[in-house]
Structure 1
Amino acid sequence: MVGILVVSHGGLAEAMVRASELIAGKSERVEAVSLEPGVDMDAFNERFCSRVRALDDGSGVLVLADMYAGTPCNVAARNIRGLGYECVSGANLAMLIEAISMREGRTAAEIRDAALESARESIRNLREIYQ
């Protein structure tokens, strides 16, 4: 089963995983790594790589990063070739729940694409819908 790693600034990644558990229940092989103030970049990079390796059982890993071009996303981009995972920036809760719910029997790339579509569909202007 594809592993999922959420990476973010502050405690957002952990909060997203906790929120997903509230909605979809606890899931195996879903983890979070957050960049906290004062953390050395080399230490963050090592922790990130360590978690990706631990989550990969041969089925692959999908990394969901909070913000394009932010430090957690940049760390993911720097390691993507060497560790061979899929990665999406702009992570949101809808994307995470979609990824968790469809992991069985699918590739990391298939899950990545479905998560991207779910994120797009979840962003709505409620004023337009409920006027």
Structure 2
Amino acid sequence: MSVGLLLITHNRVGEELLNTATTTFAHCPMNAATLGIGERCDPDALAREARERLLSVDSGEGVLVLTDIYGSTPSNIANRLLDEGNVIVIAGLSLPMLIRVMNYCRLSLPELAQKAASAGAEGIVLSTAETRMP
């Protein structure tokens, strides 16, 4: 068994990131689901849907929930899942973060959350003409 993964994002951002990461691995190495939040939505209905998706990916090891922008509607819905039990939410979803999570999918939920957070931070690189690699 492994930790489940739920991406809650604006529109289809999570779906596209998951599809991209999955093609890198040729398959998705963990139970994963996405929930896209549109411009017009019912947060209570989406919170219920998020809970259903959370339960569908939880094999007993907990669920890592990744969301795009802290404080946004997707993030607020994700944070409502914290009361569901063994759940950790991280905002700032990026492709480097998602790929690292998939690379380390056998870690415990707290360890996996640390890997995700470090990948998010390390995935930001400022390049200038002076600092570019030859």
Task: Give the TM-score of the pair, scaled to structure 2.
Answer: 0.90
**Unpaired stretches in structure 2, ≥5 consecutive residues:** none
Provide the residue aligned with 1:110 in structure 2.
111
> For the residues of structure 1 that align with 2:85 and 2:36, how far apart are their CA atoms?
19
**Runs of 4+ that moved beyond 4 A:** none
SS of the aligned residue for 1:68 comes to coil
Deviations 1:76-114 (A, max 9, x none): 11220233301100010110111111111x211100001
Provide the residue aligned with 2:127 in structure 1.
126
> For the residues of structure 1 that align with 2:60 and 2:23, how far apart are their CA atoms?
28
Identity %: 25
Per residue, is there more helix in 1 or in 2?
A: 1
Provide the residue aligned with 1:29 in structure 2.
31
By how many angstroms is 1:40 displaced? 1.9
1:91 pairs, out of 93, 111, 118, with 93
Aligned length: 130
RMSD between aligned alpha carbons? Answer: 1.4
Provide the residue aligned with 1:16 in structure 2.
17
> For the residues of structure 2 that align with 1:82 and 1:2, how far apart are their CA atoms?
15
**Unpaired stretches in structure 1, ≥5 consecutive residues:** none
SS of the aligned residue for 2:65 comes to strand
> For the residues of structure 2 that align with 1:79 and 1:42, how far apart are their CA atoms?
12
By how many angstroms is 1:22 displaced? 2.1
